[in-house]
Amino acid sequence: MKDFHRGLMKLALPCCCSLGLVVAMFAQRPFRQYPSVEYGESTPLPSDSQRPGEWTFARLMYPPGPNDGYRGRFDGDWREGMSLWTQDGPPADRAMAAAVRRLTRIDARSVEQDVNLDDGDEVYNWPWLYAVQVGEWGITQHQADVLRDYLLRGGFLMADDFHGAYEWQMFLERMRMVFPDRLIVDIPDNDPIFHTLFDLDDRYQIPGQAHVRRGYKVPDYPEGPNDGKGAHWRAIYDDKGRIMVAISFNSDLGDSWEWSDRPSYPERFSALGIRIGVNYVVYSMTH
């Protein structure tokens, strides 16, 4: 009798585990490639796009804000792609995933996952989230609530590609909907996030592909001659001193990934962009 019980337990454990795995897999939304503002629907899929990985590049889908730069050009339903949030994608996402796979021991999925905060608990399946053009975003209060909960539960958001004081204000406005009372601070040089995999003591401004010659992007509404100049690596910390939101202000890391294999884009920008991105990923997976 005892043997029977033991045998039953032995059988039950793997069954439960398998069931859990299957449930977890089906709980995640399947991969879907959205048309992007830069590449339309023409991006070919890599051969191993169906292979799951330990980590996936998740891109935040959000509605455009009042200063949406694509207003008038892409005014369709943001939930179907072809909107501000698809900027640089999918090549940037896939180049970053490939770098993570190659430069670390993390088995990264080759394709991205676009995540809508209105989509139930979907965001909780993706511990690392990337948001582009956050100076022009327009997340709703509900989305901000979900994002806050996600971040407080251990999620990580990388906010990228916004420049100048005006876009900073726009970003801040929406970020205050997420965290009304948390400060945004400069990340100190000795923070583990800059030393988790690569030692990144020397961090310079990473311009977008269109602004390489000048070295920085002149904002659409500049406030002074130097607005948009100088890299700022900022963050929002949780109560235990861990970064929840990493903010690359006045830099365009997305472009540094997207253009990493183009001769026209200086390699040193890509090299730093990839290093910072990889450190953010490893940090988020280990802290």
Contact pick of 188, 215, 224, 230 for other proteins (by CB under 8 A): 188
Q: Is 204 in the site for other proteins (CB under 8 A)?
A: yes
Stretch touching other proteins by CB under 8 A, among 59-67, 82-90, 247-255, 271-279: 271-279
Binding segment (CB under 8 A) for other proteins, from list 57-65, 78-86, 201-209, 223-231: 201-209
Say whether residue 197 binds other proteins (CB under 8 A).
yes
Residues 33 and 113 sit within 8 Å (Cβ to Cβ): no
61 binds other proteins (CB under 8 A): no
Span 72-111, contacts to other proteins by CB under 8 A: 98, 101-105
Q: Does 127 bind other proteins (CB under 8 A)?
A: no
87 or 260: CB nearest other proteins: 260
Neighbouring C-beta atoms of residue 36, cutoff 10 Å: 25
Q: Which residues have C-beta within 8 Å of that of residue 237, sequence separation ≥ 6?
A: 182, 185, 243, 244
- Asked if 251 and 172 count as a contact pair (C-beta separation under 8 A), the reply is no
Cβ nearer to other proteins, comparing 180 with 263: 263
Q: Which residue has the tokens 């020397």?
A: 202
Are residues 113 and 266 in contact, defined by beta-carbon separation less than 8 angstroms?
Answer: no
Between CA 236 and CA 287, with CA 155 as vertex, the angle to 5 degrees is 80
Q: Which is nearer to other proteins, 64 or 91 (CB)?
A: 91
User: Which x/- pattern over 205-244 shows residues binding other proteins (rule: CB under 8 A)?
Assistant: ------------------------------------x---
